Structure 1
Amino acid sequence: MHASSLSEPVVTDREALQEFIDILWEYTPTIERDVARLKNHPTEHAVVGNLFRTLHNIKGDAALCRVEVAVAIVHPMESVLVRVRNGDLPFTNAIAEATLLTIDRLELAVERLSSEQTLAGLQLQLLIEGLEKLAAATPSELDACVADLIEAVTGKRPVTVAVKAPAAQRKPGDASRSQTADDLLFFLTLANQFEMRSPRFAGRTMRILRLALETNQMAGNPIDPVQLEAAIYMHDVGMMFLPESVWLRASALTPAEQRIMRAHPEYAAGLLSRMESWAAAAAMVAQHHETPFGKGYPGALTGEQICPGAKVLAIVDAFEAVMLKHTERGRKRSLLRAIAEVNACDQQFAPEWIEPFNQVIRRAAESR
């Protein structure tokens, strides 16, 4: 795109632009999660592939929605990840920073377009030029390229961008980490299949995942984040073993249908328990409808009998359900209503997890 088109792009379809913004909002947590994982485990090729596909989907959706500036921003970053996926470049902290900077500028750009503001000052031309140089760089040039890119776009040069390149030789544990990544990708695929059964479910997995991981982090990460992630992906997959006439309906269920619905945690937990290394996630899935005072299902467990991961999952899953309810009823300020409703259910949720969850929600509300 010409420089003038980057600073003053013409919006030909505002409805399509809003559709793209909604899509991008759903994709962003996935990108942040994959980048964070790759910073710690840069050789997990399945995660690299997932990150590439997410960016590729964003570019495709931008093209369909005719948001050309988004296509121009994402394309060179996609080219960088092609080289990482092909093994020509290692995934380093430098590439992680470039990816996050790209998504940050993309979000700012479309938000300004939505509010009919100019994009001047976002330095999009310099961003694209820097990413194109990065896509052509050698491994030894990565740090310098990203430092130049960050300085050009933000006006501040990073002190250092530490490299965490993959080891030259395979180390003990690499195989197990690769298997974990493959399993998580499989679980995410199942979650996506569940979401595709109804437009009401679109994006719910990533919203719940983000809330759960941030709540756990707010409390000091007492729950294994990987096991929690697996549980988030799988917790409702058992629904697909039930008649669709029961779990896809929005109206109230009969007592008989409620009994059918109560079987879904055990189906998904049974699948996880039969796979090596996922026992903790299986327990979270099996117990996520239990309540501290023994009124839940399927085991009527109480207090400490319920694992912490299940307690967190119960809160974030209920929050998502309440948000959906208020949105479908056309109510305004659904976020505040959902917070109030979850906090009012003092016997349904573990009190020790309500405050970390509230802190995460308050921080999200303030950032908005």
Structure 2
Amino acid sequence: MDIRAIIAPAIQDREALEEFADALTDRAPEVERDVARLKKSPGDREITADLFRAIHNIKGDAALCKFELGIAIAHPIESMMSRFREGEIVFSDLLAELILLAIDRLELATDAVLAHKPLENLRLLDLVQGLELTARAAPEKLDASCAELIESVTGFPPVITGMSARAPKSAADKTPHTGATDDLQFFRSLALQFESRSPLFKGRTMRILRLALETNKAGGAQVDPLQLEAAVYLHDVGMMLLPESTWLKVGRMTDADKQLLRNHPGYAAGLLQRMHGWQAAAEMVAQHHEMPDGGGYPNQLSAAEICPGAKILAIVDAFEAVMLKHIHRGKNRSVLRAIAEINACDKQFAPEWIAPFNAVIRKTIEN
């Protein structure tokens, strides 16, 4: 295969590629569900056949739509599933994680090609070459090959478990009781009200708060932790002023849905702007969907115009959103793949805060 079809795939037929993207949106949940089922029942030949068929269909869709990258990713996975079906290799947790990571990368790459976005951060050549080598690995070396490839593509070893939803110490706990303490308690109650609107949100506020405070600390504590804590609590509260059918929607959003969602930062920021002493938090909330390249919203600010707290909040909020994005597929998105996706899309975020965020994740691994 021409290496350019992997590192810089061209759109030969846009309509066909859009059809492939739509089909992949349907196929990927099948893969996710079948991998989860097979991990629990590795001897089930019917589940094995289902997963093999799902991967085979992705390869067939890619061939029909003339998307060589799709073939290059799906074919070695199909070969591994064939070896498993014949009893030559076992279906280990590492093999399962590698398959899911590969499908994630294919989804990201397809969307990026359609949007004319860069692909270098996806490490597609490493992925395809590694999949080909892993597909031919000796049975006793398969897990080692999977682990090596996962770390090569993501930058993280495949040993990450869950992220704590336990409440970290509030910045207000370290200061005498003031009006700010009362305000933070009120802000937290609003955040928990938002969280209660869906069982899928359980624990998200404290996960985001912990990551935000620790990322700020790892980056030199440039942001006032009291203001950052307030911004974490209120950054999504504006969602409650929108129709629930929009922000609790499962699956792809329409352009109208996306346009409506662009209003939510302004509502919460407006609340903070009208309260004495929370102007910095208001700025963070208003800007947390802005991007360094000017492609964010609501004001298309550039990197220098976005405050540091908003840059932190953008990363940790996106991480939580990625974790939630595919929960309807039947299992939680793994922390590893969520981190990998954030790093693969790092041009959406301030690079000076990606490194501290990664440092926090690495510390979590070590502990």
TM-score by length of 1: 0.53
Counterpart for residue 221 of structure 1: 221
1:1-368 equivalent positions in 2, closer than 5 A: 26=165, 28=166, 30=167, 32-34=168-170, 37-38=172-173, 40-41=174-175, 43-44=176-177, 178-330=178-330, 334-367=334-367
Kindly indicate whether the alpha-carbon contact (under 8 Å) linking 2:294 and 2:302 is maintained by their aligned counterparts in 1. Answer: yes
CA deviations 1:23-44 (Å, max 9, x no partner) are x953x3x2x414x643x33x53
**CA–CA distance in 1 between the matches of 2:333 and 2:237?**
30
- AA aligned opposite 2:213: L
Would the aligned equivalents of 1:234 and 1:285 in 2 still touch at CA under 8 Å? Answer: yes
Q: Is the 2:323–2:334 Cα contact (8 Å) retained in structure 1? A: yes
CA contact (8 A) 1:246 1:257 kept: yes
Q: Secondary structure at the match of 2:191?
A: helix
For the 8 Å contact 1:228–1:281, the answer to whether it is kept is yes
Instruction: Name the amino acid aligned to 1:195.
Output: E
Which is bigger in relative contact order (C-alpha 8 A, separation at least 6)?
Answer: 2
Q: Which whole-Å CA distance do the structure 2 matches of 1:228 and 1:304 have between them?
A: 19
1:329 is displaced (CA, Å) by 2.9
Moved over 6 A (4+): none
**Which of 327-336 and 257-266 deviates more?**
327-336
Instruction: Note the residue ranges of structure 2 that are not aligned, 5 or more in a row.
Output: 1-162
Checking the alignment, whether the CA contact within 8 Å between 2:323 and 2:333 is kept in structure 1 is: no
Distance 1:296 1:25 in 2: 29
- Counterparts of 2:172 and 2:290 in 1: how far apart (Å)? 30
RMSD: 1.8
Q: Structure 2: how far apart are the matches of 1:327 and 1:246?
A: 17
Equivalent AA in structure 2 for residue 213 of structure 1:
L
Q: Once the two structures are superposed, what CA deviation does each residue of 1:171-218 show, in whole Å capped at 9, x if it has no partner? A: xxxxxxx10001001100100000010001111000000000000000
In structure 2, distance between residues paired with 1:267 and 1:333: 30
Percent identical among aligned pairs is: 62
Cα gap change, 1:345 to 1:364, in 2 (>3 Å): same
SS where residue 301 of structure 1 aligns?
coil
Change (3 A) 1:356 1:304: same
The 1-side partners of 2:237 and 2:358 are apart by 27
Q: For 2:235 and 2:332, how far apart are their aligned partners in 1? A: 29
* Paired residue secondary structure (1:347): helix
Structure-1 separation of matches of 2:214 and 2:283: 20
List alignment gaps of at least 5 residues for structure 1: 1-23, 45-177
Q: Quick one: distance in 2 between partners of 1:326 and 1:251?
A: 9
Deviations 1:58-81 (A, max 9, x none): xxxxxxxxxxxxxxxxxxxxxxxx
Counterparts of 1:261 and 1:311, CA distance in 2: 19
CA–CA distance in structure 2, aligned partners of residues 330 and 355 of structure 1: 31
